[in-house]
Structure 1
Amino acid sequence: MVDEREITIERLNAADEDDLYVFESVNRTFFEEMVPTRGEEYYNRDVFQARHKALVEEQRGRTSFYLIRNRERQIVGRINLMCDDTERGDLGYRIGRDFTGMGIAKQALKLLMDKVRLTEIEQVSAKTTSNNIASQKVLEKNGFTCVGHDENRFSMNGEKVNFVYYSWTNG
């Protein structure tokens, strides 16, 4: 298990592009086991570069994209908070295959939520797939409450799954 001294969350910047491309490419198959694919186009280097630049620009607003790094400064995951307005945000995160089961997601989410507590954001929503029990546990251990699930199931990697929705309230 890790503690807050072993990982950091750092806002995404332009200089992260190459390392992030490698991280996403190396972990593609693993990620696609638990979340719908981002599609083949995402891994085209030119497309990735353009999307990376757009994400860095998008942070000028209320949205924040973070890289989770270990002591060695290696990218071990990502965590994002997308905010459409000042009161509500949507959470997303992913941890690389070689770093699962170490408590990194739980700790990174704690670090992010500590930041959120200092803002005027009142509610954060998250969703995961019904087969991603580890993600559900991470959310619940950080104060998120399950608020429902889609009735409609879809096929992902030969398994029928649906989305499970979570919510967290500030204060």
Structure 2
Amino acid sequence: MVTVERVTAEHADALLRFELENREYFARVIPDRGDAYFAEFPQRHAELLAYQEAGTDHFHVLVDDGRIVGRVNLVKIVDGTAELGYRIAESAAGRGLATWGVREVLGTPYGLRQITARTTADNVASQKVLARVGFLRTGEMELNGKPAYSFVRAAGPVDELQRGGSASG
């Protein structure tokens, strides 16, 4: 069974392993984090936990049988608005975990009014996830030199009418 957990210091090693194991897979559709991210991971993880403690970011992991299979984050929180980011392990792709995880996190009462998201134009799977959970495309942009789209939705739980399917474990 898959669960959503708020990131803690205890997740550091498993989160680094998740990122390293999926680095090439993620780089196919989103910009690579770069070597420095991995070399400085312990410090970066501590910084993220400090941001979370300050309330400017909320980080979550999707855990399946003790193993991290995804991340769903709400970052850059300002005046009730946050930006959504998520990634699912290659081994867990195609199971509906991104849609399920995003729904779960969007239903968390963080006091947000609006959530934004961005995705490259060629990341059709991510665009489908955003549509399933009620995001509307608001414009075109460039993301790391690639054509991309911006999205927005009101914060709060996903409507019951939009709740088709579930994550398999």
Q: What is the TM-score when the length of structure 1 is the normalising length?
A: 0.85
Which range moves more in the overlay, 95-104 or 61-70?
61-70
| Letter matched to residue 170 of structure 1 | A
What's 1:129 paired with?
120
Structure 2 counterpart of 1:7: 2
* 1:56 and 2:49 aligned: yes
2:15 maps to what in 1?
20
- Aligned twin of 2:159: none
- Inter-partner Cα distance in structure 2 for 1:21 and 1:153: 23
Could you tell me which amino acid in structure 2 is paired with residue 34 of structure 1?
A: V
Q: Is the 8 A contact 1:88 1:121 kept in 2?
A: yes
Q: Structure 1 regions of 5+ residues with no counterpart?
A: 1-5, 155-160
Instruction: Give me the CA root mean square deviation.
Output: 1.6
CA distance in 2, matches of 1:64, 1:152: 22
Instruction: Work out the CA distance in 1 between the residues paired with 2:42 and 2:142.
Output: 36
- 1:77-92 map, 5 Å: 77-92=70-85
Count of aligned positions: 155
- Give a deviation string over 1:104-134, Cα, whole Å, max 9, x none: 000001101111xx34311100001111100
Partner of 1:167: 152
Q: Is the 8 A contact 1:86 1:120 kept in 2?
A: no
Q: Which runs of 4+ in 1 moved over 6 A?
A: none
TM-score by length of 2: 0.86
* Cα separation, 2, equivalents of 1:124 and 1:19: 27
Deviation per CA, 1:54-89, whole angstroms, max 9, x where unpaired?
11111112211001111x121001110014324101
- SS of the counterpart of 1:121? coil
In structure 2, do the counterparts of structure 1 residues 110 and 151 end up closer, same or farther at CA, with 3 Å as the change threshold?
Answer: closer
Distance 1:52 1:170 in 2: 26
Q: Is the 8 A contact 1:7 1:108 kept in 2?
A: no
Distance 1:105 1:152, change over 3 A: closer
Task: Find the residue that maps to 1:131 and give its secondary structure.
Answer: coil
Q: Provide the C-alpha distance between the structure 2 equivalents of 1:39 and 1:133, rounded to a whole number of angstroms.
A: 24
Given the superposition, is the C-alpha separation of residues 78 and 150 from structure 1 closer, same or farther in structure 2, using an over 3 Å criterion?
A: same
- CA distance in structure 2 between the aligned counterparts of 1:38 and 1:152, rounded to whole angstroms: 14
